[in-house]
Each structure stands twice: as C-alpha cells, then as structure tokens.
Structure 1
C-alpha cells in the first residue's frame, strides 16, 4: 500500500486528488438538496423531479462528444477548470431561485441544462487526465485513489446534505454545492502536466474529422461498445430507481430527507471500500470482472421494491456502492490501457455518450410508469434488467477474455488487435490519471 500511495507526493496529482474530493463533497449534497427543493415546490412531484433531472442529462449527452474533442485538443486540466467554474455559477443560480422562493420549473430546467453541459466538458477530460500524471504501472492505483478521494467526499456530502436540508433548507445546501465547484477549479488550476503531455493535440484536423477518428477507435473494439451498451441499460435502471423514484420512496417510507441521506451515505461508504480494494485489485480479465460487479446494483433495487427499513436499504446500498466503485476503476483502467492516448478523450466521450444516451428517457418516464404499475414493480423490473444485461454481455468473447495488459501478439478481438497502439496509450515514461459519477 505504501508504494501505491507514493504518487500522492506528486504535487499535481495531489491537487487533482484534493479537487475531486472537494467537488464530490458538493456533488453528494446536490441530489438530496435539489430533489427536496423540487418536491417542496407547490406543484412538485416525482414527475417534476424527473423533468429537471432529464434536462441535465440531456444536455450532458448532447455536449459529451464535443467535450472529448476539446479535451484532446487542449490541456485537459484547463478544460476541467472551465467546466467547474461554469457548473459553480449554474448551481449558485439554482440556489438563488430556491432561496428567493422563485418556483420556476423553467428556470431549474435551463440551469440544470447548463450544469449538464459543464459536466459533459468535464467528464472526458477528467477520465483521461490521469494518464498524463503518473507512470504506467501506477495507473490503476491512481484511478483508485482519485475514485477514493471522490467517494470520501461523497460520504461527508451525503451526511452533510441531510443536516443542511433539515436545518437550513435546500437553498443553502445548494450554496455549499456551488462553492465546492469553485474551490475545485482553484485547485485544478495549479495542476501541471509534464513532458509531451503538456502539449495539446494538433488542431489542423476539423472537429468532425476528429470525431470520426474517435468513432473508429471506439467501434473497432467489440469489447468496448458491448460493455458500453450494457452500461446504457444499467444507467437507465439506476436513474429511474435511485434518482427519480428513490427520493419519492424515501419521502413515503424512509423518513424523508434524513432517511435518504443515510441511505446515500451508506452507498458512499461502499464507494470508499470499493476504491480501497481497487488500489490492489488486478483482475486477470478486468472487463469480465467489471460486468459482474454491476450485479451489485440488484440488492438495492430489491430493497427499495420491498420498502425495506432504512437499515436494510442502507446495507444494500453499501454493497451497490462497493460494486459500482470496483466496476468503474476496473473498466476505466482497461480502457486506458487498451486505447491510444492521443485519442483517449474522444473514446472516453463516446463511452460516456453511449452509457448515458438513454438516461434522460428513463428519468422522464420513471414516475409516469410508477404511477401506473407501482414503484415496486419498476424497482423489480429494473433489477431484472440489470441481471439480464450482465448475462448477455458476458456472452461476448472479447468481454470475457480481454487481458489486464495489452498483448504483444494480435488477438481475435479488435480491442486486442492493436498492441502497438495500445502500448502507446501507456508509455513507459511520463504517464498519468480519473472518475464520477
């Protein structure tokens, strides 16, 4: 463990680590604060919350591909700074609306879209900046530590959210969220990339040409697009279950904001536990492991379907958090090791785009479907879909057999077919490090 933690001695990586910790503290506050702010509106309901959440995700999906191109053309940490500043201003404006009692659904939708666009610019850069900061052999440890920093922030944020919403109200909780974005931007501004990594990619090629190049890199790897297709379905189930119907279920059966904050805190503790395990975990077949980890979402959906007590639901969410964290680190490391570095942000943007493209639809229809068939049926249906998706994608040979390190000889799968380019993604010299949530 000591050798793995030695990367924290690097000033730039430590700044990244700290920035992600602070940012995720706010990100953990935002879902609780915004959910109960919307539900507290005169016409607030699960459907209204779904509309606001869907607006954010729709904007995020719309700008993701551009975010990938931008992160491959410009220094990635600078893209992250700009995105954080934009998100901080947007969340600050949301806080003003809530604090002044301006019950404007249109205003919340527009500001949620601004936040979503900022997140779209941030995500590809944040998931590929690590490879510019640490040596190749420490990529997974760096990914796990960044994930750990984010999840540690989530623990404090989820607990703090319940306290702030109950004692001060959702508006002041959103003020704290906005401030964390600004602090994160200041920390990221101090990051310095090293060597050739400081140089942005050539910009002579047009945006659409660069997008086509990224698309080729993405589609020629069957293991990659198959796993992304699975995550697209899984994320719809997570969005419907945890983002829209979860707070509604908490209001009815878990004691409201304080109960839901306790559940999210347990999930965040699971995230941290998963990150700690991932520092040392080296699965021989990382993608197969990542797919199996998605099954950890099922217990939480079943607990919510059964209106289980807070303690039981929190325990299930701990398992979900642990498995989601392991999934993210193992999948991200596999992608970083098997994709050329010069096009990594664009491939990351296609990964994120594919993973979230259907999420707005799931957020928008979750409450109307629950009104017809009951939220319990929606939770159980989502659990079945998650399990079925894992079974289907494991039937893809490349998903089952992708090795931890790129192989020196050509394989049968497109993702392993290009060992020379894959090696270029992990140069032995200057190498560096991720994600969200």
Structure 2
C-alpha cells in the first residue's frame, strides 16, 4: 500500500474508531439514563425504540448509499448523529431526562444509524485498491475493538463524574470528530450510481444481484449464520457459564479479555499485511476451528483452558470475518456495495439483539452446555456451507468486480 493510500486508510480507520467509541458511549449513557428515569422497563422501551428502526431501515440505507454515494451518506449521518446527540445533551442541562426525551432520541438515532451503517461498511472498497482491502479490513477490526473498549470507559467516567449531559455531549463530540476525519478521506469517483429507478426497485435489484451471485450468495449465508452464532455465546453464554462455574467477575474478565486479545492480535496481523493463501478455503477452515473451540469451552472445567479457548475463538473469528468481508467487497460490483453491506449489517447488527432473549430462554430450558453446543454446531454449519460452494472455496482477494 502506497504512503498516500495508507494515510487515507488510516484516516478512515480513525474516523470509524471515533464513531464506534461514540456509539458505545451513547448506548451506555442511554441505558443508564433510562434506568434512572424509569427502571428496567424504561430500559427495554428505549432499547426497542432504537433497535426497531435500525432493523427495519437498514436495507433502505444500502439503497441510499448506492444512490448518493457511501462517502456522502456517511458524512451526512455522522453530522446528523452529532447534532442530534449534542442537542439532547443541551436539553439535559436544563431539565431532568425522562422518557419523553429518551424514546424519540433513541428512535431518531436508530433511523440515522440504519442509514450510516451500510455507508460506512461500503467505504473500504471505495478508498483503496483491491490488493489493499485485506489490510484496511484489518484496520477496521482494530478500530472496532478499540472503540468498543474505549467507549464504556469514557462513558462510565463521564457518567460518574459529570452526569448524563456530559456523557451524551462526549458521544456527540466523538461523532463530529468522525465527521471531520471523513471529510478528508478520498474515495474513488466511480462509486456513485445514477438513481434511475424507485428506491423499492433498487432494493429488489440489489437482492436479485446478491441472490444470483456465485460467490456473494453463499458468502452472505455463511457470514449471517456464523456472526449470529457467535453473538449468543459471547454476550449471554459467557455470563451464564461464569455464574454456573462460580468464577465471579474475575473469571468473566479473563474470558472476555481472552476474546478481545485473540481478536485484537488477529486484526493487528491482518492490518500489518498478513495475507493467507486461498482465503476462500482458509475462511471455512477457521470457522471449523472456531465452532469446535466454542463447544470446547463447556467441555473443560478450569478457567485457564476456557480463557485459552476464548482467545482462540477471538482469533479465528477475527481472521475469518475479515477474510469474509474482504472477499465480499472484492467480488461485489461497486454499484451494489451499499446494498450488499446493508444485508450483512442486517444479519450481524440489526438482528443480533433478538438473540439475547432467545439465548437466555434456551439456557433456562436446556442449560448452558446446550447453548454453547448449539452455537458451535451452527458455526460448523456455516463452515460446511462455505466448503460446499466451489465458487467460494476458490475465491481470491485480488478479484475486482467491474461495474455494470
């Protein structure tokens, strides 16, 4: 990657990290403020108010990114989110936050997030050449983990020492930092498509394109199954496992830290230039290892081994997801990048909150072991799906889909 291209990629990664950190601060502050305003029921109402429009409008956000250009949409949504959250923070300085403020805030933020996610996800393919996609996706993984680590820390400090208004103000400022960085990111001029049809017809065209693509169709299925499978054990299953084993908060910290360390090292290696040969074959092999490791976490009794398995899961998930994202963008027609990203975002972000109560219910009915075994089996199913597609097995990262 040339020096100028590397600088462009680093600016995008910094913008993404700032946005992810802002997201983490915002959602922490929103949940905390809702709990203080109305207890657990208020938290559920506010969370649903934000999650519903995000899930419903994600596909439409992909259409908008392809029509107007992903860069332009990402800039507009960063600005809108920053202004919205700063306005809410200003209101909180003069009145105590109540549901009448928090519910509309969560709803509008969910709408803006649905338009932002496909656009920012499509940007890596638009700011680098095909041979640099793997590195920039590695940078994205680092930015995601850094933001998810820094966000709760920043938000917690702001809430503890300065209150809700300061936390929301910090989130809004982080969105504006992301905006400032995106403004100096350069994109390829070929990315904006002409809006020759209605939004609905463009959406249907995107679904047809994705469904008929020899690589993207099975790849989308693999990503959806694997990402949703990992979400259950990571977020809910680990908490229940630690409680069952009596390891307490320290054990929880070790296991979650193992996930984070493995994923961070994988992202760092890819950002530094690690490029596995035959990625279409390596990806399902890594998923196979990840599925086995998830099942193994409930088959061993000591915390050290579980932590090591968690680190292995984090590493293989990090590499496999980065390879999958890179393959997807390398093989996607630029005219459909936003719509393809929106489908993947729906599977990995939009539907993930629905898994939390399902995982909890499954654990209550069948036990924690069954949850981990079930999720590991689903990951193995995703690997089998990838192995079953000859086109996906033979997919390479240096493929560039020409615009039609």
Length-normalised TM-score, structure 1: 0.73
Q: For residues 116-137 of structure 1, give each alpha carbon's deviation from its aligned partner in whole angstroms, at most 9, with x where no partner exists.
A: 4333222222222223322333
Residue equivalent to 2:126: 132
Gap regions ≥5 residues in structure 2: none
Query: How far did residue 19 of structure 1 move?
Result: 0.8
Residue 69 (structure 2) pairs with residue 75 (structure 1): yes
User: What is the aligned counterpart of 1:225 among 184, 207, 217?
Assistant: 217
Are the equivalent residues in 2 in contact too, given 1:85–1:185 (CA < 8 A)? Answer: yes
Q: 153-162 or 57-66, which moves further after superposition? A: 153-162
Q: Are positions 1:271 and 2:263 aligned together?
A: yes
Distance change (3 Å), C-alpha of 1:236 and 1:23:
same
Unaligned runs of 5+ in 1: 407-421, 427-437
Tell me how far 1:307 sits from its aligned partner: 8.5
Specify the alignment match of 1:338 in structure 2.
331
Q: What do residues 51-79 of structure 1 show as CA deviations (whole Å, max 9, x unaligned)?
A: 86666444333112111111112132221
Aligned to 2:391: 398
Equivalent in the alignment of 2:378: 385
Confirm or deny: 8 A CA contact 2:141 2:267 kept in the other structure: yes
Alpha-carbon separation, structure 2, partners of 1:379 and 1:139: 33
Aligned match of 1:370 in 363, 366, 373?
Answer: 363
Would the alpha carbon gap of residues 250 and 236 (structure 1) be closer, same or farther in structure 2, given more than 3 Å must change?
same
Task: Call closer, same or farther: CA 1:267–1:169 in 2, change over 3 Å.
Answer: farther
The equivalent of 2:14 in structure 1 is 18
Q: Distance in 2 between matches of 1:103 and 1:375?
A: 37
- Given the superposition, is the C-alpha separation of residues 139 and 369 from structure 1 closer, same or farther in structure 2, using an over 3 Å criterion? closer
Alignment-derived partner of residue 117 in structure 1: 111
1:142 to 1:230, Cα distance in 2 relative to 1, 3 A: closer
Q: Is the 8 A contact 1:22 1:183 kept in 2?
A: yes
- 1:317 and 1:87 mapped to 2: Cα distance? 34
Alignment RMSD (CA, Å): 4.3
How many residues of Structure 1 are paired with residues of Structure 2 in the alignment? 400
Alignment match, 2:290: 296
- Alpha-carbon distance change, 354 to 17 in structure 1, aligned in 2, over 3 angstroms: closer
Distance in 2 separating the partners of 1:251 and 1:94:
37
The superposition leaves residues 229-262 of structure 1 with CA deviations (integer Å, 9 ceiling, x where unpaired) of 2332333333333334555666885655x87566
